[in-house]
Chain A
């Protein structure tokens, strides 16, 4: 007969608890092992442990259904970019191209190349601006985020508050003021007008800060005791544990700087980025419908590549971390 818990002696209670714990762990391990074996049987070994396939099918169907709605307009954009002119105005409109062609793309490059500077120059500008902005944003914002989330120093709370409030501020005059600041610094019509303001956005910093705050302080204290400097703790210990957030801010930053129109900031043709050139092409109106569709597709590709690379990277590291124990 089982005694009630409160009647037990402390030593008996501890033994009982240990038994229960062991049983629970054993059950979990068995469940995991079973599922793990199933997965090993079905596909390669690089899997996350602990999920069953039956549930997955249900979730997959639900997500696929909703995903169709998300992807459909993008599919249409792609289809429209490979439709020849006569098919664009077909009645009723078709959901596919009867006679697919790459004319729109070659048209786009022809038009782009007919401007003052070769299109390759614009491509170079875009890549340069995007890569420099992304790299420096990630370096600077992550380092600052580490300090804001893990160090105690005078002014910490204030700076943390300012970062969030700056995210919320949005005003029509803000752009004018930014322009005035840049004009004062003599930055208008230089690369730095496209790069520096983008490095200084606080969204990435805030995300990194939030992510780092989940890392236990004990880990950092231990490193300090071992004599590690702050920079080493930040990049050697904390950052590898924040990989998902790191990859996410790379995606954000790449996308922001790649798509930025840079409107009035740069007027020299030789400094313009691809989105600005595309806007100029699109300004010609309906006659360039095909080229506009093509340019939307072309512009989408680099952020997409970065996204897939970054996400894959997260998956691999996380799958690995899951296998460790």
Chain B
């Protein structure tokens, strides 16, 4: 009994059970007390509301409509989703392609980003800048796909063909980007090449932000090798950066599209590099069936949300 009352006394107002009126008053009181927070948030949040949140909220219901951009959207319920999963064979095929891409540019590229960021961090400062630049450069160069087209070009002018023929490995030019056997591998290579992007750079920043005195404290606690340092100090103290990188990687892994379209053309041979996002592009910007296109994007969005929650659970103990 005494224990109970003692407990009640130390409860914060926010943790106590309150009536609705009380809770409302308390919220208003807290809002007034923290008015400075809202003022500091306002400039960003205002722009964010207008240019991101409102468009997103307007986009969400479009998947349930028939919308061709010429006339007003017409509500058709789940019709788009039935069509997608029951009748659209190309969509079903694109799920498989997307998953293949997602595995390579998702977990694989994430692990590689982390490993590279860690290795770079062990180097001399000037070399750090140099290698960070080297690995991030493809993301900065952005759309120099024409170079990859030169490399993978199907005639003898292509660098890869020229080299292989010079070495006598092949006797005739291979159609790297139009032969169904090779195109997927080629696009995956280029996708990996551009995948050291925001996530990688954030990890580099995470490594640099670690408090050096942590390592001294670690030495006292008995940490001996670099690997122990990595697992007991480095990873826990850069958990938030890892979470950011994971979100970035999820987005880039599931929305693979433009590299395939640029290299293999659209549509690609046998739909070999036709991802879900390419499918959405096809219906949206080629056929102007915006309703169906946004239904496809909606499915992708839900999948990404689930992935995000899963990763959040996995990294859970390191984040916040």
Which residues of A are in contact with B by a Cβ distance under 8 Å?
21, 24-25, 27-28, 46-48, 50-51, 55-56, 59-60, 62-63, 66-67, 69-71, 73-74, 76-77, 80, 89, 91-93, 95, 139-141, 143-144, 146-148, 151-154, 159, 162, 164-174, 176-178, 180-182, 185, 196-197, 199-203, 205-207, 209-211, 213-214, 229-231, 234, 241-245, 247-248, 251-252, 255, 259, 292-293, 296, 300, 303-304, 307-308, 311-312, 314-315, 318-319, 321-322, 325
* Sample (24) of A-B pairs whose CB atoms are under 8 Å apart: A24-B219, A48-B124, A51-B122, A51-B123, A59-B119, A63-B120, A63-B134, A70-B193, A93-B158, A147-B37, A151-B34, A151-B37, A166-B52, A168-B251, A170-B301, A171-B301, A177-B54, A181-B55, A200-B50, A203-B198, A207-B241, A211-B241, A248-B201, A315-B129
Q: Does B168 contact A (CB under 8 A)?
A: no
A170 in complex: contacting residue of B43, B148, B251, CB < 8 Å: B251
Collect the chain A residues with CB atoms within 8 Å of residue B216's CB.
25, 28, 325
Most buried by A among B140, B165, B166: B140
| Cβ–Cβ < 8 Å partners of A92 in chain B | 156-157, 162, 165-166
Q: Which residues of B contact A201 (CB under 8 A)?
A: 52
Top 6 closest A-B pairs, CB basis? A172-B284, A210-B240, A171-B297, A177-B55, A200-B47, A244-B205
Whether B44 pairs with A144 at a CB distance below 8 angstroms is: yes
Bound: A50/B215 CA distance, A = 10
Complex partner residue of A171 from B34, B196, B298, CB under 8 angstroms: B298
State in angstroms the CA–CA spacing of A303 and B250 once bound together: 25
Task: Report chain A residues within 8 Å CB of B128.
Answer: 311, 315
Given A24-B222, A27-B219, A169-B56: 11 more A-B contacts, CB < 8 Å: A51-B123, A147-B40, A159-B45, A168-B250, A173-B67, A174-B56, A196-B47, A210-B241, A303-B140, A307-B136, A311-B129
By CB atoms of chain B within 10 A, which of A70, A207, A307, A318 has the most?
A: A70
Chain A residue at minimal CB-CB distance from B240: A210
Which residues from chain B contact A200 at a C-beta distance below 8 Å? 44, 47-48, 50-52
Which chain B residues lie closer than 8 Å to A46 at the CB level? 125
Q: Is the CB of A255 within 8 A of B140?
A: yes
CB pair B209–A174 under 8 Å, yes or no, is: no
Q: Which residue of B lies closest to A92 (CB)?
A: B162
* Residue in B122, B140, B212 whose CB lies within 8 Å of A55: B122
B-side contacts of A172, CB under 8 Å: 280-281, 283-285, 290, 293-294, 297
CA distance A27 to B148 in the complex (A): 52
CB nearest to B284 among chain A residues = A172
- CB contacts (< 8 Å) of B116 on chain A: these are 63, 66
How far does the alpha carbon of A21 sit from the alpha carbon of B276 in the complex, in Å? 57
B44 in contact with A63 (CB, 8 Å): no
In the assembled complex, how far is the CB of residue A265 from the closest CB belonging to chain B, in whole angstroms? 12
Asked if residues B247 and A167 are in contact (CB atoms below 8 Å), the reply is yes
Contact among A28, A60, A243 for B127, CB-based, below 8 A: A60
CA of A293 to CA of B124, assembled, Å = 34
Is residue B27 contacting chain A, with contact meaning CB distance below 8 A?
yes
* Binary contact readout B133-177 vs A (1 if CB under 8 angstroms, 0 otherwise): 111111011111011101100001111001001100000000000
**B239 to A: closest C-beta gap in Å:** 8
